[in-house]
């Protein structure tokens, strides 16, 4: 019996190792391409024959002609500002909605929970034409503020994971604090929030990643090269065949640089992310 279990474990490890290698191959290829000295998408070898740092240099210090359409530093700044503001606003909205729906009982609460669940099943791009028309009427096209408005205004619908985490915290803590004279705001700030560090970190990271990784909505709203986010800007570098051949290695370098902040955040906050997801899934 033990031998059969060992064989199953070994088989599982081998399968997971094989899948990990398959998933890592494209990432390794992009990283190697970012150091490739020859232009173009195709390469005769997986490992570049000529290594260079010029792709990264061009990314941050383009020549006179490339500077007209390569503004990576500006794109990174735009994306970082939007992502940080959205992280703050969305985290507050999500945690506030999750706490309210977890702790309070009021009329139509079940209806609200069901509506949020149903709306969350619809992909966001279904409403993008309507969103574009509304933003156009408001004169917000080509404005990074429009992205922040759209990202944060609908963020509270993603409260289910956070609500599940709040549900795991005993209600006795709230009742004991009320007996001591604490109001709901004091309970939320001084008692609940210190106990919910994993879900706060998870919510903040997800809110940061949404603008950082979004392409569809940003490409629909932003057209000014100085207002683009990094995803839209990088795609614009390889839109036609000539740009694809000349700029693909620079595009790969931009992809690597763009991924670094997210990777670092995941590595540093991995423990909180896993705790937040696992606990939030218990009763969510």
Locate the domains of the chain by residue range.
Answer: 2-60, 71-283
Phi and psi at 36, nearest 5°, equal -75, 135
| Cα–Cα distance, 249 to 267 (Å, whole number) | 26
For the CA atoms of 179, 180, 183, 189, the dihedral, rounded to the nearest 10 degrees, stands at -120
Instruction: Report residue 283's pLDDT band, with 50, 70 and 90 as the boundaries.
Output: very low
Over 50: is that where the pLDDT of 281 sits? no
Mean pLDDT of the chain: 82
pTM value is: 0.82
Into which CATH architecture does domain 71-283 fall? Orthogonal Bundle (1.10)
The larger pLDDT score, comparing residue 114 to residue 274, is at: 114
**Cβ-based neighbours of 177, under 8 Å, separated by 6 or more:** 186, 187, 191
């Amino acid at each position: 019996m033990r031998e059969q279990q060992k064989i199953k474990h070994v088989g599982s490890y081998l399968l997971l190792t094989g899948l990990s290698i398959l998933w890592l191959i494209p990432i390794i290829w992009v990283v190697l391409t970012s150091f490739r000295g020859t232009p173009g998408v195709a390469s005769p070898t997986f490992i570049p024959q000529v290594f260079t740092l010029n792709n990264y240099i061009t990314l941050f210090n383009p020549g006179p002609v490339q500077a007209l359409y390569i503004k990576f530093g500006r794109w990174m700044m735009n994306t970082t500002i939007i992502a940080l503001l959205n992280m703050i606003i969305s985290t507050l909205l999500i945690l506030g909605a999750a706490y309210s729906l977890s702790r309070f009982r009021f009329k139509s609460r079940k209806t609200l929970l069901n509506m949020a669940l149903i709306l969350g099943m619809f992909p966001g791009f279904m409403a993008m034409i309507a969103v574009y028309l509304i933003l156009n009427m408001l004169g917000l096209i080509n404005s990074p503020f429009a992205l922040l408005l759209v990202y944060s205004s609908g963020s509270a619908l993603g409260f289910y994971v956070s609500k599940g985490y709040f549900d795991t915290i005993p209600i006795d803590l709230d009742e004991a604090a009320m007996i001591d004279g604490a109001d709901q705001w004091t309970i939320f700030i001084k008692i609940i929030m210190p106990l919910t560090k994993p879900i706060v970190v998870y919510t903040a990271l997800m809110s940061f990643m949404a603008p950082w990784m979004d392409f569809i909505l940003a490409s629909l709203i932003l057209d000014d090269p100085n207002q683009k986010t990094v995803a839209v800007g990088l795609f614009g570098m390889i839109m036609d065949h000539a740009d694809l051949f000349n700029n693909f290695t620079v595009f790969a370098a931009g992809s690597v640089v763009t991924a670094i902040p997210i990777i670092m955040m995941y590595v540093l906050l991995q423990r909180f992310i896993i705790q937040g997801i696992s606990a939030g899934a218990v009763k969510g």
